[in-house]
Each structure stands twice: as structure tokens, then as C-alpha cells.
Amino acid sequence: MSATNNLIYIDLTTTRYASNVANAARQLIAALFAVKPRPAVVADEVVSQSQMESSASWLNSLANDCERHSPNLSAELRYMASRG
């Protein structure tokens, strides 16, 4: 009888899966750091005085509605309305 060895030897240098994973990780890192940040958007929108007044009156009406059940919320809404 001859003794045969049925073990399978896997060489890590020829394993394609490990090299694919390493390559994907390198590409991900390169993509993350290669993106240039967008320039800050200049606030061109100007809120008109009538829009500010209508927002403040709306917040005050909400504050009046919830005065009885939630006085802290009412105070916060009035504060937001006063900031403009």
C-alpha cells in the first residue's frame, strides 16, 4: 500500500480573493481622499420683512395654543419668534 497525501495547499501569494480585497480597500481609501470639498454655498436667499413677521406671528400663535399643556415649549416658541 502506498501512503498518499490528500491535503490541499493554498498559497496566499496566489490567492486572488485576498489581493482583490486589498485592492478594493486601496481604491476606497484613494476615492475618499481624492474628492475635493465643494466650495461653501453663499447664502443668496434674503428673507423679506413680511416673511419674518408672518413667521413670528405663526410662532406666537403656536405658543398661545400650547401654553396650557406645555409652558416650556411655549416659552421656547416665543423665544424663537423674538429672534427673527
Residue 71 falls inside a structural domain: yes
Find out whether 59 and 77 touch, Cβ atoms under 8 Å: yes
Q: Identify which of 44, 49, 79 has the alpha carbon closest to the alpha carbon of residue 63.
A: 79
Find out whether 53 and 68 touch, Cβ atoms under 8 Å: no
Task: Read off the pTM.
Answer: 0.45
Residue 56 falls inside a structural domain: yes
What are 25-64's pLDDT values in tens digits? 888 888 888 766 667 666 556 778 888 899 999 999 999 9
Total count of domains within the chain: 1
Residue 60 falls inside a structural domain: yes
Residue 34 falls inside a structural domain: no
**pLDDT at site 84:** 67
**pLDDT at site 32:** 82
Residue 69 falls inside a structural domain: yes
C-alpha to C-alpha distance for 84 and 62, rounded to whole angstroms: 15
Between 49 and 15, whose confidence is greater? Answer: 49
